[in-house]
Chain A
Amino acid sequence: MYSEKVMDHFTNPRNVGEIADPDGVGTVGNPVCGDLMTVYIKVKDKKLEDVKFKTFGCGAAIATSSMITELAKGRTIEEAQEITRGDVAESLGGLPPLKMHCSNLAADALHAAIKDYLKKKEAKE
């Protein structure tokens, strides 16, 4: 059902965990639907120095979370904001049609984390 890439990211997820002192945190989904993702970011010189995740959900939810951290790490804020759900699915070699809607939330979680970071930054300035 899943591509090799998805299985690889499910089996060996990259950047699992929390960032102790994050600059931004974004959570999307809810456990009632079966998917809940939290993305943590650390920003340095307008770039995403570190990206980590925690996810409750199916194989696709875990794999997309892992993939988004790889896609986003080292990018500028602007670049990261442009990463779409489609980019995540494509980088994973595709997702089953049903999972495109329900479990492909990682890009949203990343964008929510960036929004959180920008809001906090604005408040400080």
Chain B
Amino acid sequence: MDHAAGMPVDPRVFETMKPYFMENYGNPSSSHSLGANSKNALLEAREKVARLIGIKNHKDVIFTSGGTESNNLAIKGVAYRNKHKGNHIITTNIEHMSVLNICKHLQKQGFEITHAPVNKEGIVNVQRIKDAITDKTILISVMYANGEIGTIQPIKEIGRIASENKILFHVDAVAAAGKVSINVREENIDLLSMSSNDMYGPKGVGVLYIKKGTRIQPVVQGGGQERGLRSGTENTPGIIGMGKAAEIAKEEMEAEGKRLIQLRNKLVKGVLDKIERSYLNGHPTRRLPNNANLRFSYIEGESLILGLDMLGIQVSSGSACTSKTLEPSHVLLATGLAHEEAHGSLVFTMGKQNSEEDMNYVLEVLPGVVKRLRAMSPLTPKEMLR
């Protein structure tokens, strides 16, 4: 139950991709029929992605190598293209590292970054975004939903503020695309990042939606593919896979979302009922359908992960001990949790293969794992161990 970290490719996606490795291997830029085949397939994929985010104009869809590259292209592209207008960017303190580190990089080059805070449920303070706007502000970048605590942001409201102030609005929708309905036009989004492997597509493909008329500077220079915004021979099989994944997501998102919310709610309620001093991180309802981020006092996340892994359950954690930086999750800290609370958090992200049976199994074994670790912990109050 760690779909936020990696998802399998949907078999239907894989089937669609297969012919584009050995039979239809043409370069979309070639003039002959083999090339034309690929070109048409790319066009179709572009249209499918466009439909997923509520638009018709496939030209606004730029394929990249994934969410990280899309975020780079969007933020650096806007920043470099508009630096004569201003050097101020507003974002939040719970963004994905790819956004936070791009901003850090830009900061070194003279850009100024404001990180708007979030409340304890992980919702960004819109007023603080509004208050931070100056005549130097060129970009607002806010994630659609947070992959770790699942919180969905008030995108439409922020989009309106950005548009009223004539500031470009970028949304990192990597965690949300294909899971919740997105409409870039209604939500006033100028740029939107998506990733294929977060919607049962292949890894190594992503999309940056760029609203018509939005000017950005490319990050990768070369042969001028993708309207000059992302040079390099197109990853045809990958792009076709992402197109198929987007098509499936568009069709099945609503029903699958309902199913996942039911599973998620069962898991959350069960855990909170069965395990004392356990808490839900993030917002109770404004969250991704498949996300449950749970916190357990007195114990540490990595040992919980190991304990569950031995019982066949794969989850992830907000603990430092599972990260390369030895820092607990910046997202959990931003919601006001203390370090030791962040350490004791587990992230369940369910997917298509998960069933009610899986939830029952977690609810059956998790209390025992928690109890065992609490019995070992010097932080557990004595009265709890009786």
- Give the interface of A toward B (CB within 8 A): 2, 7, 10-11, 13, 16, 27, 31-38, 54-62, 98, 102-103
Q: Are B375 and A16 in contact (CB under 8 A)?
A: yes
Q: Report how far A20 CA is from B264 CA in the complex, Å.
A: 43
Q: Are B379 and A56 in contact (CB under 8 A)?
A: yes
Selected contact of B302 from candidates A11, A31, A36, A58, CB within 8 Å: A58
Contact mask for chain B residues 336-365; partner A; CB cutoff 8 A; 1 contact, 0 none: 001110010000000000000000000000
Q: Are A55 and B320 in contact (CB under 8 A)?
A: no
Q: Report how far A11 CA is from B299 CA in the complex, Å.
A: 15
Q: Which residues of chain B are within 8 angstroms of A54 by Cβ–Cβ distance?
A: 376-378
Known: A10-B303, A31-B343, A98-B326. A56 touches B378 (CB 8 A): yes
> What distance in Å separates the Cβ of B109 from its nearest Cβ neighbour in chain A?
31
Q: Are B379 and A59 in contact (CB under 8 A)?
A: no
Q: List 13 A-B contacts (CB under 8 A).
A: A11-B310, A16-B375, A31-B343, A32-B339, A38-B378, A54-B378, A55-B377, A56-B299, A56-B377, A57-B300, A57-B321, A59-B303, A103-B321
- Give the interface of B toward A (CB within 8 A): 298-303, 306, 310, 319-322, 324, 326, 328, 338-340, 343, 375-379
Q: Which residues of chain B are within 8 angstroms of A60 by Cβ–Cβ distance?
A: 321
Selected contact of A62 from candidates B303, B326, B339, CB within 8 Å: B303
> What distance in Å separates the Cβ of A59 from its nearest Cβ neighbour in chain B?
4
Q: Are B324 and A98 in contact (CB under 8 A)?
A: yes
Q: Are B378 and A33 in contact (CB under 8 A)?
A: no
Q: Report how far A16 CA is from B379 CA in the complex, Å.
A: 14
Q: Report how far A1 CA is from B47 CA in the complex, Å.
A: 43
> What distance in Å separates the Cβ of B247 from its nearest Cβ neighbour in chain A?
37
Q: Are B378 and A36 in contact (CB under 8 A)?
A: yes
Q: Report how far A11 CA is from B320 CA in the complex, Å.
A: 21
> What distance in Å separates the Cβ of A83 from its nearest Cβ neighbour in chain B?
21
Q: Are A27 and B378 in contact (CB under 8 A)?
A: yes
Q: Are A33 and B320 in contact (CB under 8 A)?
A: yes
> What distance in Å separates the Cβ of B256 from its nearest Cβ neighbour in chain A?
32
Q: Are B376 and A62 in contact (CB under 8 A)?
A: yes
Q: Report how far A35 CA is from B321 CA in the complex, Å.
A: 9
Q: Which residues of chain A are within 8 angstroms of B310 by Cβ–Cβ distance?
A: 7, 11
Q: Are A55 and B339 in contact (CB under 8 A)?
A: no
> What distance in Å separates the Cβ of A54 from its nearest Cβ neighbour in chain B?
4
Q: Report how far A116 CA is from B249 CA in the complex, Å.
A: 62
Q: Are A56 and B321 in contact (CB under 8 A)?
A: no
